[in-house]
Amino acid sequence: MKRGFPIAVAWLAAVFAVAPILWVLITSVTPAEKLVQGRVGAGFSLASYIRVLSHTEFPLCIINSALVALLTTLFTLALGLIAAYALTRFRVVAKPLILALLLAIPLFPQISILIYLYLAASRLGLINTYAALIVPYTALALPLAIWYLVAVLDDIPRDLDNAARLDGCAPLRTLTSVLMPLVLPSMVAVGLLVFLLSWNEFIIALVLTTDAKARTAPVGLAMFQGTHYIPWADITAAAVVVLLPVVLLAFFGQRMLVAGLTRGALK
Amino acid sequence: MRERMGTAAALPYLAPALVVVGLVVLLPLVATVGLSFTDAARGSAGHFAGLAQYAKLAGDAGFWRALVFTTLFAVGTVAVEVALGLAVAGALVPAFRGRGWVRVLLLLPWALPTVVAGRIWEWLFHYQYGVFNLLLAGAFGEGARVDWLGSIPTVYFSLGIADIWKTTPYVIILALAALLTLDAEVMAAARLDGARGGFIVRKVVLPLIAPALLIVAAFRLVDAFRVFDLIYVLTGGGPGGSTVSVSLYAYQQLFAVGDFAYAAAVATASFAIFLLLALAYVVVYQRSRAFRGGVL
């Protein structure tokens, strides 16, 4: 009894977490004519997926999202690593202040920069471009990467740097050939988290894209009307397509995601 | 050799990150505040207008309604999420068969896009085909259907459930991480001293993880205050503007109304709220540290 109660609580929470996702999955493979009768789960059909992936602009949204998230991740890791290197291997004035200010960046309301970003992007003709998304995403993800990598680089003894320097290594060379192999697992962890955040981002993409072909997957999904007389067959199929990579990431990268999340927040 | 390692030498490495952050965060922040002192609108560059937008803000019932709604939404959901998250995290501390699976499954709502969460709950709450109304109608007849998203105050409950579903996992993950750092020896010592379960939780565990809980609650609170995605998808601010958040209100002023300067004033107000919350967190954190310093 005493041990049984927490286990029941844990499983109840897990069921509450998964049941809505499963219901949507079941809906997405229910034939549309069964859905209009309110018979979710009666029969099996992939017609919704075929419609969504071949008769709408949704596949373009998926490609946009994948490219934007991938490029954001690469830029964030590159800029974040050299910034973290500078913050740990040089004596930078006001380092605690810089880190504290960085922490605020992913937390403040995006709307307070978004109005200007929209006006500036309109003036520069950047609406509907990848650059208009990648640059803000990188800026908002950088603090996370810097915090994480500063903590990791701080744990690596300076003797390694000194040895490399005595061997005639320039600082950048020290970073790429001595330190980087050591921080590579951490970069994968933080990279997964950045990819996830970029893949999921909505409000910036909503404001900075107007063309249906330039939308990211979340914006495409939010705007998705469905192509059928009961659009929910298609909407749920589109939702499953968007959450599939996330579920895979959660299953195979669970440890790294949790590490990235907790290390960023609690250290 | 020493002076080579100073701030000046570090600058080339810091510059790319600082430039990106400055261009995307600092410049727009300042420019938005500046814009709020003009009368710029769609199709008109605008001139300096002093505090005109803020005078309008002070007397704008729509803005105050959004602010009250956002505050109640944030405080209400975060209170439930922290309590619930802590309870589930506590249940995940002792090892049991299947714990790994429970943890992965609990990660899912946090990991998926908020838009997907919005679409999921929109479907569950659907009047005609949603699972809740199918069950209600099946059990009690057609009259038992509930207009989950289209009636007040039911819509507040529906939004709250969706948000709690989406973000409690975040609290669970972080609370569990804090609980797992607790020193096994401290717990063993408390037990040896004859302390019982409830006492240990209240007097040993909670004080030890209080700083971590405080920061999780602070993160959640500022995040709930800027809520946009979930509401945009689930209710669009309806019915009758009853669920318009501050961020959504600024967005509507920007696009639906085209009043750039006023949208900037609303956005600046929302940034001011963020600063106040951040400041409150710092004060509470310092106090709690001073308090514990006095005890130990």
CB contact under 8 A, B228 and A203: yes
Q: Is the ipTM of this complex over 0.90?
A: yes
- Asked whether the predicted pLDDT for residue B23 surpasses 70, the reply is yes
Q: Please compute the mean of the pLDDT values over residues B68-75 and round it to a whole number.
A: 97
Question: What pLDDT, on the 0 to 100 scale, is given for residue B20?
Answer: 96
Determine contact, residues A117/B35, Cβ cutoff 8 Å: no
- Asked whether the predicted pLDDT for residue B296 surpasses 70, the reply is no
Let me know the angle formed at the C-alpha of B268 by B265 and B269, rounded to the nearest 5 degrees: 90
Q: pLDDT-derived band of residue B273, with 50, 70 and 90 as boundaries?
A: very high
- Asked whether the predicted pLDDT for residue A246 surpasses 50, the reply is yes
Residue-averaged pLDDT of chain B: 91
Min Cα separation A136/chain B (Å): 6
Q: A219: which residues sit within 8 A by CB, 6+ positions away?
A: A61, A202, A205, A206, A209, B115
- Asked whether the predicted pLDDT for residue B295 surpasses 50, the reply is no
Same domain assignment for residues A6 and A129? no
Question: What pLDDT, on the 0 to 100 scale, is given for residue B3?
Answer: 44
- Asked whether the predicted pLDDT for residue B88 surpasses 70, the reply is yes
Question: Which percentage of chain A shows pLDDT scores above 90?
Answer: 63
- Asked whether the predicted pLDDT for residue A229 surpasses 80, the reply is no
In 10 A of CB B271, how many CB atoms?
19
Contact status of B254 with chain A (Cβ, < 8 Å): yes
Say if A71 falls within a structural domain.
yes
Question: Chain B contacts of A140, Cβ < 8 Å?
Answer: 24-25
Which residues face B48 on adjacent strands?
B38
Nearest CB among B123, B170, B225 relative to A27 is that of B123
**B171-198 pLDDT, tens per residue?**
999 999 999 888 777 777 887 887 777 7
Determine contact, residues B262/A111, Cβ cutoff 8 Å: no
Same domain assignment for residues A207 and A176? yes
Question: What pLDDT, on the 0 to 100 scale, is given for residue B203?
Answer: 81
A237-241, A260-264, B203-207, B271-275 — which is least confidently predicted?
A260-264
Question: What pLDDT, on the 0 to 100 scale, is given for residue A265?
Answer: 56
Say if A167 falls within a structural domain.
yes
Q: Which residue of A has its CA nearest to B234?
A: A222
**A180-213 pLDDT, tens per residue?**
888 999 999 999 999 999 999 999 999 999 999 9
In 10 A of CB A6, how many CB atoms?
17
**B199-228 pLDDT, tens per residue?**
888 888 888 888 889 999 999 999 999 999
Min Cα separation A30/chain B (Å): 13
Say if A52 falls within a structural domain.
no
Question: What pLDDT, on the 0 to 100 scale, is given for residue B1?
Answer: 43
Same domain assignment for residues A13 and A109? no
CB contact under 8 A, A114 and B267: yes
Min Cα separation B126/chain A (Å): 10
CA-wise closest residue to A86 among B163, B22, B79, B7:
B7
| Domain of A8, in residue numbers | 1-45
The structural domain count of chain A equals 2
Nearest CB among B96, B99, B267 relative to A111 is that of B267
Q: What is the CATH number of the domain that holds A197?
A: 1.10.3720.10
- Asked whether the predicted pLDDT for residue A80 surpasses 90, the reply is yes
Contact status of B5 with chain A (Cβ, < 8 Å): yes
Question: Chain A contacts of B129, Cβ < 8 Å?
Answer: 35-36, 38, 40, 230, 232
Say if A191 falls within a structural domain.
yes
Question: What pLDDT, on the 0 to 100 scale, is given for residue B184?
Answer: 74
- Asked whether the predicted pLDDT for residue A173 surpasses 90, the reply is no
Largest CA distance in chain A: 76
Question: What pLDDT, on the 0 to 100 scale, is given for residue B15?
Answer: 92
- CA B90 to CA B16: how far, in whole Å? 43
Question: What pLDDT, on the 0 to 100 scale, is given for residue B294?
Answer: 42
Say if A50 falls within a structural domain.
no
Contact status of B245 with chain A (Cβ, < 8 Å): no
Torsion sign (Cα): A64, A65, A69, A72? positive
Say if A34 falls within a structural domain.
yes
Question: Which percentage of chain B shows pLDDT scores above 70?
Answer: 96
**B125-141 pLDDT, tens per residue?**
999 999 999 999 999 99
Give me the count of residues in chain A. 267
CB contact under 8 A, A257 and B107: yes
Token code pair at residue A32: 């549309």
- CA B134 to CA B131: how far, in whole Å? 5
Torsion sign (Cα): B252, B253, B259, B261? negative
Question: Chain B contacts of A21, Cβ < 8 Å?
Answer: 108-109, 112, 120
Determine contact, residues B176/A262, Cβ cutoff 8 Å: no
- Asked whether the predicted pLDDT for residue A90 surpasses 50, the reply is yes
Same domain assignment for residues A152 and A207? yes
| Size of the A and B interface in Cβ pairs below 8 Å | 281
- Asked whether the predicted pLDDT for residue B293 surpasses 80, the reply is no
Question: What pLDDT, on the 0 to 100 scale, is given for residue A1?
Answer: 46
Residue with tokens 């590579």: A184
Min Cα separation B11/chain A (Å): 8
Question: What pLDDT, on the 0 to 100 scale, is given for residue B190?
Answer: 80
Amino acid of residue B264:
A
- Asked whether the predicted pLDDT for residue A158 surpasses 90, the reply is no
Q: Please compute the mean of the pLDDT values over residues A82-109 and round it to a whole number.
A: 90
Question: What pLDDT, on the 0 to 100 scale, is given for residue A55?
Answer: 87
Q: pLDDT-derived band of residue B9, with 50, 70 and 90 as boundaries?
A: confident
Give CATH superfamily name and number for B59-242: MetI-like (1.10.3720.10)
Same domain assignment for residues A39 and A61? no
Question: Half-sphere exposure (CA, 13 Å, Cβ side) for A128?
Answer: 7
Same domain assignment for residues A98 and A189? yes
Same domain assignment for residues A78 and A1? no
Same domain assignment for residues A34 and A66? no
Contact status of B210 with chain A (Cβ, < 8 Å): no
Same domain assignment for residues A34 and A64? no
Say if A223 falls within a structural domain.
yes
Residue-averaged pLDDT of chain A: 91
